[in-house]
Structure 1
Amino acid sequence: MLADALPIVRLVPNDTPRISRVVTCGPLVYLAGVTAAEPSPDFATQVRQVFERIDGFLEQGGSDKHHVLSATIWLADIRTIGVMNAVWDEWVSRDNAPARATVEARLAKPELKIEIGIVAIRSSS
């Protein structure tokens, strides 16, 4: 079985047993939906807060933004996509842009304006 061949490691547990923030399996790193820990009311700042957390979680999983394979982005208001894209363009690895989906969704708390899920491959270094 695949699970026997590739150990699953749950890193950075959440404050509840429902999810783990970072899970690795073989060469892959999976991040749960990442939100700002202390969301700024300014949307661009909140997006940057999320990317800072993603960078930290990827590092803990043995990866980085240059090894992201896919991203799923949930926006509380799709009209903010232009601002999100501007911050995304500052953050994303231009040489290794991942597959991406962006949708509008009602998020878990009203102060959250963005949530991002990531799948990456571990970096070789």
Structure 2
Amino acid sequence: MKKWLLFASAMCLVVVIAACGTNTAKPENKETNTTVADSGASSSDLVVTAANWKFDKKEYKIKAGETVNLKLDSVDGIHGVQIQKTDYKLSNGDTIAVNISEPGSYQMICSVPCGAGHREMKAVLVVE
């Protein structure tokens, strides 16, 4: 009986310690460049921030035929991005040069199983 009580107490303590270590605070809003500058530069930067089973924007825009340095920043958890109908795929912290010449809408999905909301983690890349 004492062993059972000791085991139950230890498990409660483990749960309390684990709950105290969880960071559920919302990440602060980071300013990101989600449009391509009209300065005539050959490339620009686009940062996609992933956290809590969502991307920071529902839609990102780039110009057709222009190279964009796409960076994935995972604030909460481990995420990846795959741009459907293309071969572009990146992991947390990666920056890749993206050049899509065909205008249209391309769905962006999380490519790393990240938990309960993984299937709903989507955004759209609009190529104008």
- Fold shared per TM-score above 0.5: no
TM-score (norm 1): 0.30
TM value normalised by structure 2: 0.29
Is the radius of gyration larger for structure 1 or structure 2? 2
Q: Which of the two has greater helix per residue?
A: 1
Point out which structure has higher relative CO (alpha carbons under 8 A, 6+ apart).
Answer: 1
